[in-house]
Chain A
Amino acid sequence: MIEWVSYFIVALMIISAIFAVEWKDLLAAVVGMAAVSLFASIAFFFLQAPDVAMTEAAIGAAMSAAVFIFAIKRTQRYESEEEGTGWWVRW
């Protein structure tokens, strides 16, 4: 039973990681990143590391998401594919 719950959490973590890099809306990507942090925190808790789980939740879910959102607010919200970006971005 508990095994299947941990499979489920790891699967959700992988899915949210893929979405976090795939979404072109950076605000949505931040949400994906925060979801990865949340599932990582739950996974640490399942592996019986409460210290790491607390730190991951406090830093990953709250502080880094807030810092990313501030950065987006002062730059731009959508990933642009115009000139100025090199071949390493365009694919």
Chain B
Amino acid sequence: MVKRALAIITLLLIGFWLAKGLVGVPFGEDKMLVGEYYLENVKEQTGAVNAVTAVVVNYRGFDTLGEVTVLFIASTGVGALLWRRKKERSAKSEGSVVLTAGAKMLLPFIMLFGAYIFVHGHLTPGGGFPGGATVATAFLMLYLAFKEYEIDHKVFEPLEGLAGVGYVTVGLIGLAIGGYFLFDWIWQTWQFGHENIGRLFSAGFIPIIYTLIGIKVGTELTGIVDNMIKEEPKGGGQ
């Protein structure tokens, strides 16, 4: 009880200290320095209407590469931690008829919407990460609704690797053409889609990279779910 009170008092002190620091920062006022530049130049320089994706993929592409790497390491770590020679689904009861039928009907809609989110990353809110997570949610639904469902590992793991390699390859082509890593060669050098701003075929390599990230995130999160849901068969293991 004493420790609890001490912890609450400490937290209140930290909160007070943070609030005191934040009082000086006005909310919602125009204090942008770099942001101003992004908002003014985002259409000519990247072709994306959605400024967030332009910043994330184009201006600050290294951060996105780092995020993808973090996710890859997380997935690999889960796989290494839960590695067994033989793993099986341990579900005992099939889902109800309503659940399985509903899952079958919902599946194409969720897949389509996930793909829509990551293909239209430069036009509408979203992008590779939410789109990929939505696709992974569809696979999660399959895992939860069906007793014997299992993804095809021969397809999934190579696809995940290929998507990551594709991202780096796009960046390396930029290095070869434009002189620095993740240079937007489709927009800056080829000038593909310059008269097309606001439509699907614009924004240089943002749709390509977001499609690759969407595939990568989707397969990775599905792999994590697959690793966590499977167990060693009871009795007669190894």
**Chain A interface mostly helix, strand, loop or mixed?**
helix
Assess A66 versus B133: contact at CB under 8 Å? Given A51-B52, A74-B231, A91-B3. Answer: no
Assess A67 versus B228: contact at CB under 8 Å? Given A51-B125, A91-B1, A91-B3. Answer: yes
A residues within 8 Å of B by Cβ?
50-51, 53-55, 57-59, 62-63, 66-67, 70-71, 74, 91
* A-B residue pairs in contact (CB < 8 Å), sample of 10: A50-B125, A51-B52, A55-B130, A58-B130, A58-B137, A63-B137, A66-B140, A71-B228, A91-B2, A91-B4
A81 to chain B, nearest CB (A): 14
- Whether A51 and B224, one on each chain, are in contact in the complex, defined by CB atoms closer than 8 angstroms, is no
Is B229 among interface residues, defined by CB-CB distance under 8 A? yes
- Whether B137 and A62, one on each chain, are in contact in the complex, defined by CB atoms closer than 8 angstroms, is yes
Chain A residues with CB under 8 Å of B212's CB are none
Nearest B residue to A57 by beta-carbon distance? B130
Q: Which of B50, B125, B133, B231 contacts A62 (CB 8 A)?
A: B133
B90-114 toward A: CB 8 Å interface, digit per residue (1/0)?
0000000000000000000000000
Chain A residues with CB under 8 Å of B225's CB are 63, 66-67, 70
Is B126 among interface residues, defined by CB-CB distance under 8 A? yes
Nearest A residue to B229 by beta-carbon distance? A70
B151 to chain A, nearest CB (A): 15
A63 to B136, CA, bound (A): 8
Chain A residues with CB under 8 Å of B53's CB are 51
Nearest B residue to A91 by beta-carbon distance? B3
Chain B residues with CB under 8 Å of A58's CB are 129-130, 133-134, 137
Is B127 among interface residues, defined by CB-CB distance under 8 A? yes
